[in-house]
Each structure stands twice: as C-alpha cells, then as structure tokens.
Amino acid sequence: MKQITPRISGPVDVRGRLAEWGYRARGAFAPNTERALRADSAAFSAWCMASAVTALPATPDTIAAFLRAQADDGKAIATLRRRTATIARMHRAAGLPNPCDSETIRLTLRAIARAKGTQQKQAAPLSRRDADRIIDRIAAEGARLRDRRDVALMLVGRDLLARASELISITVDAVEWIAEDAARIALRRHKTSTQPVWCRLGPDAATALRIWLEAAQITSGTVFRSVTKGGQVTNRALSVRDVGRIILSLTARAKLQGQSARFSSHSLRVGMAIDLVAASVESAAIMQAAGWKSARMLAHYTERLECDRGAIAKYYRLGASNS
C-alpha cells in the first residue's frame, strides 16, 4: 500500500509509525479498499492543507468541518462515513487517539444524513429475464467473439453473485469442469475472505464460459480479456471499468431500462440476489453464495421485492378488498 502522507504535527515518531503501518498493511486489504483508503486520506490531507489545519492529529471540529465541506460538494453519506472511518484508521496507524469517536462527529454525520436522506442508490437489477433478452438480441444480430465473452461474463457474474473485481481476477486454473455444462470456480471474495471459495456455475453460465474459452483459445491465465476491434484476443485482463461498460452496452442493445436506477457491473449481483429470493431460496444459502456475513445487504437488495410480497400485497391478492 502506498504511504499516507498527511500534514503532521507533534513527535517525529508519528511518521515512523505511519510508515511501519503502511509496510505491515501490504496485502491486508482488497484492491478496492486500498484505493478507497488512498482516495480518502488524500482528500482529507488536501483539504487540511488548503485550510491550514493539521491532519494528524486532527480535532473533531476539523473533521466535522471537512465532512460538511464534502457534503456541500455532493458526496454521498456512504462516502462520508467511509472517509470518517479512514481518518480514524489514519490516527490509529499513527498511534494517536481517535478523534472520530466523539459526539461531534456522530452528530455531524447524523445531521448530514438527515439533510441528504440515507437511501442509497442501488444498481438496477439484471434479472434472468433481462439476461435472456440480451442473449436473444445477440443471437438475432449474430454473435461475434466479443459477444461470446460478454455473454459469458454476464452469466458467470450472475451465478457467482460476483463483484466486478472478483470477475476479472478469475483464471483458467480456478475453473474445475464437472461436465461440458457444469463447472465450479474457486472465487476469491475480495472483501470477505483471504482464501478462495468454491462456487457452482449453472448449465447456461458453464456452457457460455466453455464456448468463450474455446473460441478465444484461452488455455491459461486470465479468463476475461480484452478483444480488439479486429476480433483479436489480447493478454490484457478486463478492468473493473470495462465490466461496467460491457453491462451498459448489453442492456442498451437489448433496450433494457432500469426502473429507478442505472445498470452497472453490480447489476449482476443485485439481479441474482433478487431472483434467488423470488425463487424462495433460503436467506442463509444466498448469503453463503454471495459471501455476506450478515443479512443486511440481502435485505437492502431485495427490499422492493419483499414489499411486493408483504402483508398489503397478500391482502389484495387474496381479494380481501372485495369482501
């Protein structure tokens, strides 16, 4: 992990403790978490420098002012909470008292949340029906090599309830073929596990993956790679941003529209979670498949579905309103 270099006052050994923490933290966090830590610490340090205040140690009033400035710049409450956690981590790494554990910070975040509203923007779910529409559209147009990759990416991502960062890290040796239309994948859950977990692919996803690998003649290394305009497969693995662009392209081609949100790479994970709940799969099994340690995220993804299946919906389906 790159060193955090905020403006520091006080003993020189604070810098030493930060440097030691940076060394020990190498490999301890998922790549996305490392990027967030760097972005948050850089934003806080830059604001403190511009405001002529000290970042380490920072006072609760300094942090509260930073959070309000960030809110005024349009940052979401989730981002502000994450940045607060990063500032707290910076202080712990430097061996300093944590100024974020104060009533000033709690009240500031609460006030911002009330002003902004805490409803998170959720990616539009890409359901099985949506996936079928995309596949039908591609078949009608005539599938190219890139289309075979994109369909495999979409179906594998759904079956694994995978984040984009997890999808692009899949390698050929992580795939265990059971049959032509059945496979397991040793997936590394970047946020929740240091060890790969075995995940099962359904027949459609396994078949699409096999077709892509054979067509692209990929026998080792990264599974999902870039394809040139001329149809040549490169050795460059797709990026997280590439996955998002692919999902947007597929949904646009099939003329799909999210009802209240935009499609993104996370649409695969959200869509499969909702489909599993709709199929009455047990919550514990869904959480295990997605790598969730609590039911909070599952409830967040499926709250609209549960609303449509709730007491009022059942009441009217039973015809009670006509009695």
Q: What is the pLDDT along the chain (323 residues), one digit of tens a residue?
A: 444 445 444 444 656 666 677 767 676 677 778 888 888 888 998 898 888 888 888 999 999 999 999 988 888 888 999 999 999 988 988 888 999 999 999 999 999 988 876 555 678 899 999 999 999 999 999 889 999 999 999 999 999 999 888 999 999 999 999 988 899 999 987 666 667 889 999 999 999 999 999 999 999 999 999 999 899 999 999 998 899 999 999 999 999 976 556 899 989 998 998 898 888 888 888 888 877 777 776 777 677 666 666 665 565 566 654 54
CA distances from 84 to 94, 96, 107, 135 (A): 16, 15, 13, 43
Range(s) for CATH 1.10.443.10 in the chain? 128-308
What φ, ψ does residue 31 adopt, rounded to 5°?
A: -55, -40
pLDDT the model gives residue 51: 86
d(CA 95, CA 135): 55
pLDDT the model gives residue 268: 94
pLDDT the model gives residue 316: 59
CATH number assigned to the domain with residue range 13-116, chosen from the 4 options 1.10.150.130, 1.20.1440.130, 3.40.630.30, 1.50.10.20: 1.10.150.130
pLDDT the model gives residue 10: 46
The pTM of the full predicted model, rounded to 2 decimals, is: 0.65
For residue 214, give every residue at least 6 positions away whose Cβ sits within 8 Å of its Cβ, in sequence order, or none: none
Range(s) for CATH 1.10.150.130 in the chain? 13-116
Report the first-to-last Cα separation within the chain, whole angstroms.
66
For residue 199, give every residue at least 6 positions away whose Cβ sits within 8 Å of its Cβ, in sequence order, or none: 159, 160, 184, 185, 186, 187, 289
The two structure tokens encoding residue 302: 């499926």
pLDDT the model gives residue 298: 72
Q: Assess contact for 283 and 293: CB atoms under 8 A.
A: no
CA distances from 33 to 60, 72, 85 (A): 24, 24, 12
pLDDT the model gives residue 262: 85
CATH number assigned to the domain with residue range 128-308, chosen from the 4 options 1.10.443.10, 2.40.420.20, 3.90.1170.50, 2.40.30.10: 1.10.443.10
pLDDT the model gives residue 68: 92
> Cα–Cα–Cα angle for 143, 148, 151, nearest 5°?
110
